């Protein structure tokens, strides 16, 4: 097998230099727009770099084996640190927080963090849209606690309903039935608007697209098909394995007719399609599906996301190779105003649009400067 380049996660943070923190740093004033006029609205927080699955497209077993060095506990942001940063970022416009990882349900006492984040309010006094992405393995056990702690929504990743295919894709022999039981437990716990994410790899689970669509149609669960992305440096990505969203929709439309729907928000990552009734009109009872086409239809121009890694690095793009080390500010005694001013300066100079640039130069899949990309399990999916 060819040697794969892995970014060590336990490295000393070596991100770009933070803006200078002088005593005169004033709290920034809105609007907080980046260099392309994009506001900051969404924050993804990775709460652990560990996962109990070994999906080949994300944390392949050959790399993430028993010798792999995960972050030591002391490197992880503590819940109070995460909440402090989240509070500051909410003042900058964040309205939605998604907890992710690794597998977020592996982080001990996660409900305590959710409880803290649930108390945050936007400058307009609104509660946050507080959601989480999970592989569902621990959901049966934890759904009620998550709900009671204040989690508002949930996304469950599930790549196939075919047990053999799913066990092979998660590569830890985990059965489909247990993920489905987790989804049921989430519904019983009171979660509405559950989403299911399916990453499609052409040669592995494309055959499962229609069975998945049939299974979730009419259940109130929105199934979303994600194009296999060139994240990280370990998954051996190649374009041949990407099934373009247009083809996913065509396959479904052949047997279960769908019509295009308007996006919920301008910055939504998914394009929505609704199941049609006999008259060819959207039938809300049948529900909807979504496609996330970050390879064939990049949406950098409307990207309003920032990502906070497990050890407190702020990344402005999923394909970034370096983050901004906010943990050193937190642990170095910076005030909220200083951290806030630093974040404002970081966001103001944001220029990235990796996926759009890649679309025009598919031969150059590395980040600017040829640096390897950060792994998804570290930066958060």
The residues that touch ligand SAM, with contacts defined as CB under 6 A, are 51, 57-58, 100-101, 103, 133-135, 157, 197, 199, 226, 228-229, 231, 235, 376-377, 381
Whichever of 93 and 136 has its CB closer to ligand SAM, that residue is 136
Min CB(134)–ligand SAM separation in Å: 5
Give the shortest CB-132-to-ligand SAM separation in angstroms. 8
Nearer to ligand SAM, 231 or 289 (CB): 231
Which one, 46 or 95, has the nearer CB to ligand SAM? 46
Distance CA(234)–CA(374), nearest Å, equals 10
Pairwise CA distance, residues 331 & 325, whole Å: 11
Rounded-to-integer distance, Cα 247 and Cα 225, Å:
11
Supply φ then ψ for residue 83, to 5 degrees: -65, -40
Instruction: Write out the two tokens for 371.
Output: 């640096």
For residue 202, give both structure tokens.
């052409």
Q: How far apart are CA 306 and CA 257, in angstroms?
A: 36
Q: Rank residues 91 and 205 by Cβ distance to ligand SAM and give the closer one.
A: 205
Cis bond leading into 71, ω under 30°? no
Q: How far is the CB of 344 from ligand SAM (least distance, A)?
A: 28
Tally of CA atoms within 13 A in the half-sphere of 375 that contains its CB: 28
Nearer to ligand SAM, 34 or 103 (CB): 103
Contacts (Cβ under 8 Å, ≥6 apart) of 56: 169, 171, 235, 236
* Pick 59 or 334: Cβ nearer ligand SAM: 59
Closest approach of ligand SAM to the CB of residue 226, in Å = 5
CA distance 158 to 135: 7
Q: Which is nearer to ligand SAM, 34 or 111 (CB)?
A: 111
- Which helix (H) or strand (E) segment holds residue 246: the answer is helix 245-255
Q: Phi then psi for 298, rounded to 5 degrees?
A: -60, 145
- 25 or 46: CB nearest ligand SAM: 46
Q: How far is the CB of 51 from ligand SAM (least distance, A)?
A: 5
217: Cβ contacts below 8 Å, ≥ 6 apart:
256, 275, 286, 287
Altogether, the residues listed in the chain come to a count of 381
Cα–Cα distance between 89 and 326 in angstroms, integer? Answer: 12
Q: How far is the CB of 55 from ligand SAM (least distance, A)?
A: 6
């Amino acid at each position: 097998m060819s040697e794969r380049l892995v970014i060590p996660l336990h490295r000393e943070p070596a991100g770009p230099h933070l803006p200078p923190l002088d005593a005169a740093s004033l709290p920034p004033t809105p609007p907080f727009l980046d260099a392309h006029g994009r506001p900051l609205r969404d924050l993804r927080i990775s709460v652990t770099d560990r996962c109990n699955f070994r999906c080949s497209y994300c944390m392949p077993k050959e790399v993430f084996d028993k010798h792999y060095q995960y972050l030591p506990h002391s490197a992880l942001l503590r819940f109070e640190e995460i909440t402090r940063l989240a509070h500051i970022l909410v003042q900058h416009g964040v309205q939605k927080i998604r907890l992710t990882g690794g597998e977020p349900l592996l982080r001990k006492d996660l409900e305590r963090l959710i409880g803290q984040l649930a108390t945050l309010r936007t400058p307009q006094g609104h509660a946050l849209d507080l959601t989480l992405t999970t592989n569902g393995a621990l959901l049966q056990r934890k759904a009620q606690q998550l709900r009671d702690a204040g989690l508002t929504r949930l996304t469950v990743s599930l790549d196939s309903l075919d047990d053999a295919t799913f066990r092979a894709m998660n590569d830890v022999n985990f059965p489909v039935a247990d993920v489905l039981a987790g989804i049921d437990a989430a519904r019983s716990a009171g979660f509405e608007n559950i989403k299911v994410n399916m990453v499609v790899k052409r040669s592995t689970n494309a055959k499962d697209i229609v069975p998945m669509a049939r299974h979730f149609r009419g259940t109130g669960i929105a199934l979303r098909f994600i194009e296999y992305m060139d994240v990280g440096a370990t998954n051996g990505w190649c374009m041949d394995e990407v099934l373009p969203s247009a083809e996913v929709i065509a396959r479904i439309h052949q047997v279960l007719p769908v019509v295009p729907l308007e996006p919920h928000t301008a910055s939504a990552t998914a394009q929505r399609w609704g199941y049609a009734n006999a008259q060819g009109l959207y039938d809300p009872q049948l529900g909807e599906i979504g496609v996330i086409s970050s390879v064939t239809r990049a949406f950098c121009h409307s990207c309003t996301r920032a990502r906070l890694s497990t050890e407190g690095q702020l990344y402005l793009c999923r394909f970034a190779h370096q983050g901004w080390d906010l943990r050193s500010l937190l642990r170095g005694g910076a005030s909220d105003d200083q951290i806030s001013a630093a974040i404002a300066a970081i966001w103001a100079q944001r220029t990235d649009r990796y996926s759009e640039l890649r679309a025009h130069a598919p031969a150059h899949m590395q980040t600017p400067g040829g640096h390897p990309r950060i792994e998804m399990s570290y930066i958060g999916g």
